[in-house]
Amino acid sequence: MQGSDRQRRVRRAHGGSLAGTNLERAGDYNQRVTLQAIRVNGPITRVDLAHLTGLTTPAIANITNRLLNENLILEVGKLQGRRGQPAMRLAINPDGCFSVGVNIDRDHVTLVVLDFLGNVRARAAEEIDFALPNDVVAFARKSIDGIFKSRTLPRDRIIGTGIALPDDLGRIDLPHRPSTYSVWQTVDVNRLFADVLPQPVFVENDAAAAAIGELQFGHGLRSPSFFYILISAALGGGLVIDGNYFRGADGRSGEIGFLPLRTRRGNQVHSLQQVVSLSALYEQLAQAGHKVTRPEQLGALSTAGKGAVTAWLDDAADYLTDPLIAVSCLVNPKAVFIGGRLPSDLVDRLADHLNQRLRKRAGDVPAIAPVLRAAMAADAPAIGAAILPFNELLLPSRAALMKAALD
């Protein structure tokens, strides 16, 4: 593929994800590539789209005409200052389509509606500990009915629903978990929401959904190889390599929370999520006489309580240092992003503690990825879930390319 150095740098920055294909009957994939190029680089002209994607000018003209007819993109004015006739610029239509995202976790349920630019257009949340399936269905039904009754979002433009939840939601024994919560291990999530949420429904691990959200609407747009750490009631992780989420042989890559470790308090073996998670933080605070059940309460603690949080951050950084060195050695990501429900100021402090420890070890390993706060907020799994229908139906992926080649 020919092009300027700048164009080649742009393609590399996105892990090659903007490169079109000349495979026979791969038009759908080329449309996905073009749509992604407009989403990431728009407003952009058709000529620049052709240079960026490697597709021919006639192919770009046909594709963009289809996208205009489908209201997925808009013409937003002409580009001035170049020789010849000013070229029309194209941009994503935020109202072109919408999707629903639901995050089910042990301490909350959150539902968002996302537009095609990644803006949250509606949100509902309930802080509820260990919600059972019927509780979640009731919440989703009430929330989605209320959103549609407001008539601010056209139901016919919602293309699907994504649901994000931990893989072992009903199995991991966290503090105060009721025995009835194990029912989640037997629930068919697609069937559970079949008559409640817009179809089709896509189900994903919560940390994977958050990582995918970071890839499509966060720092991943400029750093397409990264490791994502999700601090929630438990601890999860996700691995993105060259702009693609990496699942592993059994779909369980990135499971940092299950890493075994020996604590400094004795020889008892723990998993990492038993000491680095909101559940672990709340339990440590409770032992020090400070009752906390929600993330927002952490900012209102007494001086003694804030000291206990500082001690937990110090411990968490110690526990995470060796695993992150291993991640850097094995994967060599551009960065490690921390997201989830831990308040942003505490994420920043944890990242600072980790970076200090990692810098001290820099001479021992070839490269160490810096640790940063993820761009996505506490709703990252729900937002990432809402991106799943976009990914599956509209945006490019290696899976979509394989399908296009086989069709």
Q: How confident is the model at residue 346 (pLDDT cuts 50, 70, 90)?
A: very high
Strand intervals (E) in 242-319: 244-246, 260-262, 269-271
Query: What average pLDDT does this structure show over 224-236?
Result: 95
Q: Are residues 255 and 356 in the same domain?
A: yes
Q: How confident is the model at residue 27 (pLDDT cuts 50, 70, 90)?
A: low
For residue 342, is it within any domain? yes
* DSSP notation for 325-355: HHHHHHH--SEEEEEESS-HHHHHHHHHHHH
Q: What is the mean pLDDT of the chain?
A: 87
For residue 286, is it within any domain? yes
Per-residue pLDDT at 389 exceeds 90: yes
Identify the helix (H) or strand (E) that includes residue 198: none
For residue 213, is it within any domain? no
Q: Are residues 223 and 360 in the same domain?
A: yes
Q: Are residues 107 and 34 in the same domain?
A: no
Which CATH number do you get for residue 364?
A: 3.30.420.40
Per-residue pLDDT reduced to its tens digit, 46-71: 999 999 999 999 999 999 999 999 99
Number of domains the chain contains? 3
pLDDT score for 82: 56
Determine which of 112-121, 174-183, 274-283, 380-389 has the lowest per-residue pLDDT on average: 174-183
Query: How far is residue 120's CA from residue 81's CA, in Å, rounded to a whole number?
Result: 35
Query: How far is residue 247's CA from residue 212's CA, in Å, rounded to a whole number?
Result: 12
pLDDT score for 373: 97
Is-contact 312 276, C-beta < 8 A? Answer: no
Alpha carbon distances (Å) from 316 to 39, 127, 233: 37, 25, 14
For residue 115, is it within any domain? yes
For residue 400, is it within any domain? no
pTM for this prediction: 0.84
Task: Show the domain range for 49.
Answer: 5-93
Alpha carbon distances (Å) from 193 to 115, 124, 134, 136: 21, 17, 10, 9
Is-contact 404 21, C-beta < 8 A? Answer: yes
- Beta-bridge mates of residue 244: 241
Per-residue pLDDT at 15 exceeds 90: no
Q: Are residues 74 and 156 in the same domain?
A: no
For residue 151, is it within any domain? yes
Per-residue pLDDT at 317 exceeds 60: yes
Which CATH number do you get for residue 77?
A: 1.10.10.10
Q: Are residues 229 and 353 in the same domain?
A: yes
Q: Are residues 153 and 292 in the same domain?
A: no
How much of the chain, in percent, has pLDDT values that exceed 70?
87
For residue 265, is it within any domain? yes
Q: Are residues 200 and 226 in the same domain?
A: no
